Amino acid sequence: MVMITGDFEDTSYLVDLINEKRKYFGSKTKSCSKPKTIQIKQLKNKCIVVTSHNPSRKYLSLVFGKKDIELTRLLFYIKNEKLKHDRFVCHRCNNGRCVNINHLFLGSQKDNIDDCVKKKRHCFGERNGMSKLTRKQVREMRKLYAIGEWKETKKRYWGKPIHSNKYNFKRKYPASYLSREFGVCRSVAQNVVSGVTWKQVG
Ligand SMILES: [Zn+2]
């Protein structure tokens, strides 16, 4: 086990171990026989990123013999020695490139998605490629839907109107009108105005 001294010290100790081990294995490309030494740098928000390898790649995968393994997984494995294949190494810090060992946690696929939804990084609302509406339109639809007045229900008994105490809310712009106006299906409009969808828009 690694002694906890500080984020950078913890991670750099593990990375040094990996660098040492990597000398015995070949590099991914045969043209350069010596694998590149992994160098890391700490950012202001305590995230640690790899500076020696291509920064455009989100996850750095290393080759050991015939196997590829992500650096984050390897770090976690060395530190905890408990890593099953169906487990994911997730980030606490929203930064996919971060390799800070103290920012990583082990979770299932569901944990990873739950974490993503909790941090609002998933595709929802306008960010969803399928969405036809915008936040502004949703607010407008709800405002229009709320317009209306309470009217007494006209009940008839044998063709004659009778007095009733029941009142119904007569909407000026019902969902069917809004669906035509905003170019969406009627059920979509109904879900929007009743708050089934677009819950995040207040
Ligand atoms: Zn981080």
pLDDT tens per residue across span 30-66: 545 567 788 888 888 888 888 887 766 677 777 776 7
How many angstroms does the Cα of residue 103 sit away from the middle of ligand 1?
Answer: 5
pLDDT at 57: 63
Residues 49/40, Cβ–Cβ less than 8 Å: yes
- Number of domains the chain contains: 2
Per-residue tokens: 187? 């059920």
Same domain, 113 and 159: no
How many angstroms does the Cα of residue 46 sit away from the middle of ligand 1?
Answer: 6
How many angstroms does the Cα of residue 22 sit away from the middle of ligand 1?
Answer: 24
Same domain, 40 and 102: yes
**Alpha carbon distance 82, 98 (integer Å):** 20
Give pTM, 2 decimals. Answer: 0.56
3-state helix, strand, coil in the chain (%, to 5): 35, 20, 45
Residues 192/133, Cβ–Cβ less than 8 Å: yes
Q: Which domain holds residue 131?
A: 127-193
85 within a domain of the structure (yes/no): yes
Q: What is the DSSP letter of 194?
A: T
199 within a domain of the structure (yes/no): no
How many angstroms does the Cα of residue 201 sit away from the middle of ligand 1?
Answer: 30
Please write the tens of the pLDDT for every residue from 100-153: 888 888 888 888 888 878 877 777 777 777 788 888 999 999 999 999 988 877
How many angstroms does the Cα of residue 124 sit away from the middle of ligand 1?
Answer: 24
Same domain, 58 and 32: yes
How crowded is residue 39: how many other Cβ atoms within 10 Å of its Cβ?
13
DSSP string over 128-186: STT----HHHHHHHHHHHH-EEEEE--EEETTEEE----EEEEESS-HHHHHHHHTS-H
Residues 193/145, Cβ–Cβ less than 8 Å: yes
